[in-house]
């Protein structure tokens, strides 16, 4: 019985559609009426953990070409909003910063190929157009500028490299990992 009540609470906390909610509620009630079989609860999906709430991540980039946040975690599929701020004072054309999240096929051992490709794309904020390894990115920011990108974390657990692709910045420290687990 306790499990059924938890199930109802979990659904109510994330109402996406009132009709579905009501249906779920009445379904749960009839299950309880049936004798609260654990097997039935499992079959209706009530045993699944509720979805992780959205997560906000703030990263600052400075004139020393460093990110102040070099690691953060995400749950599989979690909605993530990354806000990048350029806290430096050097003009954008010589010290712009962006945030690019890459697929896990890209790692520190092979990232140079991506950086080389990105370095030729100044007119695209150093983001290669149609690059399939780019999962999410902000625009290129000048001093005091801020941009937010919202995306769903991949469902595949692992380490996802993020970086600023302005030429030369990766090797100085504008990089980090998002760990999905
Ligand atoms: Cu940069």
| pLDDT confidence tier of residue 10, bands split at 50, 70 and 90 | very low
* Lowest mean pLDDT, pick from 11-15, 117-121, 167-171: 11-15
* Angstrom distance (rounded) from CA 35 to CA 130: 55
* Average pLDDT rounded to a whole number, residues 149-164: 98
- Residue 52 confidence (pLDDT): 85
Calculate how far, in angstroms, residue 30's C-alpha sits from the geometric centre of ligand 1: 58
* Average pLDDT rounded to a whole number, residues 37-52: 50
* Angstrom distance (rounded) from CA 135 to CA 104: 10
For the chain, give every residue range classified as CATH 2.60.40.420. 55-180
| pLDDT confidence tier of residue 51, bands split at 50, 70 and 90 | confident
Calculate how far, in angstroms, residue 157's C-alpha sits from the geometric centre of ligand 1: 27
Calculate how far, in angstroms, residue 5's C-alpha sits from the geometric centre of ligand 1: 50
Give the bridge partners for 150, in sequence order: 81
Give the chain's mean pLDDT.
Answer: 82
* Angstrom distance (rounded) from CA 3 to CA 159: 34
With a cut of 50, say whether residue 20 has pLDDT above it: no
Calculate how far, in angstroms, residue 171's C-alpha sits from the geometric centre of ligand 1: 10
Nearest CA-CA partner of 57 in 43, 36, 73, 75: 73
Q: What is the DSSP string of 20-44?
A: HHHHHHHHHHHHHHTT--HHHHHHT
Calculate how far, in angstroms, residue 43's C-alpha sits from the geometric centre of ligand 1: 50
| pLDDT confidence tier of residue 93, bands split at 50, 70 and 90 | very high
Please, what's the largest Cα pairwise distance for the chain?
A: 69
Compare 171 and 12 and report the one with higher pLDDT: 171
Compare 138 and 26 and report the one with higher pLDDT: 138
Calculate how far, in angstroms, residue 55's C-alpha sits from the geometric centre of ligand 1: 23
* Average pLDDT rounded to a whole number, residues 42-48: 46
| pLDDT confidence tier of residue 48, bands split at 50, 70 and 90 | low
Provide CATH code, domain 55-180.
2.60.40.420
């Amino acid at each position: 019985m306790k499990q059924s009540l938890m199930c109802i609470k979990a659904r109510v906390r994330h109402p996406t559609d009132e009709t579905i909610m009501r249906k779920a509620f009445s379904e749960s009630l009839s299950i309880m009426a049936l004798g609260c079989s654990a097997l039935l609860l499992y079959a209706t999906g009530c045993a699944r953990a509720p979805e992780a709430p959205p997560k906000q991540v703030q990263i600052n980039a400075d004139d020393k070409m460093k990110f102040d946040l070099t690691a953060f975690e995400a749950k599989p599929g979690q909605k993530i909003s990354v806000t990048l701020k350029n806290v430096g004072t050097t003009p954008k054309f010589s010290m712009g910063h962006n945030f690019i999240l890459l697929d896990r096929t890209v790692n520190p051992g092979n990232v140079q190929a991506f950086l080389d490709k990105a370095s030729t794309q100044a007119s695209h904020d150093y983001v290669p157009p149609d690059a399939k390894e780019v999962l999410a990115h902000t625009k290129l920011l000048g001093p005091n500028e801020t941009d937010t990108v919202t995306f769903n974390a991949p469902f595949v657990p692992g380490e996802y490299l993020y970086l600023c692709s302005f030429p030369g910045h990766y090797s100085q420290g504008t990089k980090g990992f998002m760990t999905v687990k």
